[in-house]
Amino acid sequence: MLQSSIHYGIHFLAPLVVALLFFKSYWVKAYIIMVLAIIIDLDHLLATPVFDSNRCSINYHPLHTYYAMVLYLLLLFPKKTRLVGLGLVMHIIADSADCYMM
């Protein structure tokens, strides 16, 4: 229970806090963009079984690899891709927290 609370808290509350603190004039748009980064979980559909509560996503699923994470970090630098990059990095942090707590 605590693990899923932390996981989903990072997925949904962390982007809200970031949006409210750093993107005040368009916080709703910023929040939605960052939360939509959850779309990278579509790569879970390539796994068998699709969901395994004892599996760490990090470096298992294609969009959760270290190579992908480098790209997500690079997205933080250009202003046009910053929100997407923030959402993706926060997503990876949420999934990393799961792995750490296993």
- pLDDT tens column, 15-59: 999 999 999 999 999 999 999 999 999 999 999 999 888 899 999
Domain count, the chain: 1
Rounded CA separation 102/100 (Å) = 6
Flag whether the pTM goes above 0.85. yes
**Backbone phi and psi for residue 92, each to the nearest 5 degrees, phi listed first:** -65, -40
* Residue ranges making up the domain that contains 91: 2-101
Rounded CA separation 72/92 (Å) = 9
